[in-house]
């Protein structure tokens, strides 16, 4: 059967690629338009699914990789920092202590390593079809949430094994993940756009991620940093975020509002700036990449 849609009964058309008038002029004016993301959410979802599908159809171990990475790091860190160096872990078994942070750090790191080269990797599409370019880094970050969920389930198993009590405060994880996602997208918008112009970003990335990890309380507790440095230390939004995860999951307490507030504010500011920057130079990607 051939279905023919008249102009009137095409219900989905309007939210497709945006009906109405589009004007393009010279220059690099910004197209700040969050509505566009919403209007084309189907595409964002499809791109996210594509990322997940591709990643797991191409590797033999598939989904196991989502678990293996934080698990392996946890074992190595437990051996080095707990058994050999006796790093304090605030009275919590060190595997639980480190894995609680590594689960979410892996999400951050995975997002960065996928999202930042995403524009470069999709050169063919960027040169040939227009749709919001921020969908590339954003879908990379969203697809990393899939890995996060799997890693988190493993974390719950580890908690059970070490008899760490489950509390209702654990549900704070949800808003924390939202804050972390916004922050991550902000970073990735900046860095991926930058990567189009300066391929150095790609090479610097592994180093930056590594240094960043040590600047965040992952293998050691925040309490081992002298308190007079905390105001600088908390400038790293990941500090507040990771510390809060640990509070709500491992210690079973409410997160410190101040930490969460600082992290949330940082995340939102970075997201807005990153989005602005990205949209401002988006139209030149096709010429430069």
Partner 1 sequence: MNAIEVENVSKRYRIGQTSYHTLREDIYNITGRLARLRKDRVKANDAGHIWALRDVSFQIEQGERVGIIGRNGSGKTTLLRLVAGITRPTTGKITVKGRMAALIELMAGFHPELTGRANIYLNGAIMGMSRKEIERKFDEIVAFAELENFIDTPIKRYSSGMHVRLGFAVAAHLEPDILLVDEVLAVGDAEFQKKCLGKMGDVANEGRTVLFVSHNLGSVVSLCPRAILLDQGRKCAEGLSSDVVNEYVAKTSENQGERVWDDPRTAPGNEKVRLHTVRIVSGGMVTSSVDIDKDVRVEVEFWNFKAGARLSTSIGLLDKMGVVVLASGNMHSANLVRDEWFGKAHPAGLYRTVCTLPGNFLNEGLYNISLSVLTDITNFEIAEREVISFTVHDTGAMRKEFVGVWGGVVRPKLAWQTEYQGPLNDGHGELS
Residues that bind partner 1 (CB under 8 A): 2-3, 5, 10, 12-13, 15-28, 40, 42-43, 45-47, 49-50, 53-54, 57-58, 124-131, 196-200, 280-281, 283-284, 286-289
Q: How far is the CB of 150 from partner 1 (least distance, A)?
A: 20
User: What stretch of H or E contains 212?
Assistant: helix 200-214
CA dihedral 279, 283, 284, 285 (to 10 degrees): 80
Q: How far is the CB of 117 from partner 1 (least distance, A)?
A: 13
Of 112, 110, 90, 85, give the one whose Cα is nearest residue 100: 90
Of 145, 177, 159, give the one whose Cα is nearest residue 255: 177
Q: How far is the CB of 90 from partner 1 (least distance, A)?
A: 40
Of 69, 186, 43, give the one whose Cα is nearest residue 125: 43
Using alpha carbons, list the distances in angstroms from residue 252 to 32, 107, 164, 168, 223.
41, 22, 9, 8, 17
Taking the C-alpha atoms of residue 218 and residue 148, their distance in angstroms, rounded to an integer, is 16
Whether 252 contacts 167, CB under 8 Å: yes
Q: Which is nearer to partner 1, 51 or 243 (CB)?
A: 51
Q: Which is nearer to partner 1, 47 or 115 (CB)?
A: 47
Q: Which is nearer to partner 1, 191 or 250 (CB)?
A: 191
Q: Which is nearer to partner 1, 140 or 180 (CB)?
A: 140
Q: How far is the CB of 286 from partner 1 (least distance, A)?
A: 4
Q: Which is nearer to partner 1, 6 or 91 (CB)?
A: 6
Q: Which is nearer to partner 1, 46 or 223 (CB)?
A: 46
Q: How far is the CB of 53 from partner 1 (least distance, A)?
A: 6
Taking the C-alpha atoms of residue 147 and residue 142, their distance in angstroms, rounded to an integer, is 10
Q: How far is the CB of 35 from partner 1 (least distance, A)?
A: 15
Of 180, 179, 178, 166, give the one whose Cα is nearest residue 251: 166
């Amino acid at each position: 059967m051939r279905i023919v849609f008249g102009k009137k009964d095409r219900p989905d058309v309007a939210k497709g690629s945006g009906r109405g008038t589009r004007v393009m002029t010279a220059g690099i004016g910004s197209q700040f338009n969050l509505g566009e993301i919403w209007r084309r959410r189907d595409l964002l979802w499809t791109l996210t699914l594509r990322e997940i599908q591709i990643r797991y159809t191409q590797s033999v171990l598939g989904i196991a990789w989502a678990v293996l990475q934080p698990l392996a790091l946890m074992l190595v860190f437990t051996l080095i920092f707990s058994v050999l160096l006796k790093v304090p872990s605030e009275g919590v078994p060190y595997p639980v202590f480190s894995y609680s942070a590594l689960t979410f750090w892996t999400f951050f790191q995975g997002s960065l390593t996928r999202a930042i080269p995403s524009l470069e990797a999709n050169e063919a599409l960027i040169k040939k079809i227009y749709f919001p370019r921020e969908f590339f880094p954003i879908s990379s970050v969203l697809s990393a949430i899939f890995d996060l969920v799997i890693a988190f389930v493993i974390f719950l198993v580890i908690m059970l094994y070490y008899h760490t009590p489950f509390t209702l405060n654990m549900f704070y994880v949800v808003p924390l993940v939202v804050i972390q996602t916004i922050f991550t997208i902000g970073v990735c918008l900046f860095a991926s756009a930058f990567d189009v112009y300066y391929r150095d970003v790609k090479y610097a990335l592994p180093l930056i991620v590594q240094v960043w990890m040590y600047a965040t309380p992952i293998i050691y507790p925040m309490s081992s940093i002298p308190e007079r440095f905390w105001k600088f230390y908390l400038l790293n939004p990941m500090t507040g975020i990771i510390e809060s995860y640990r509070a709500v999951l491992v210690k079973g307490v409410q997160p410190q509002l101040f930490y969460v507030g600082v992290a949330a504010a940082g995340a939102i500011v970075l997201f807005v700036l990153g989005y602005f920057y990205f949209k401002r130079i988006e139209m030149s990607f096709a010429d430069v990449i």
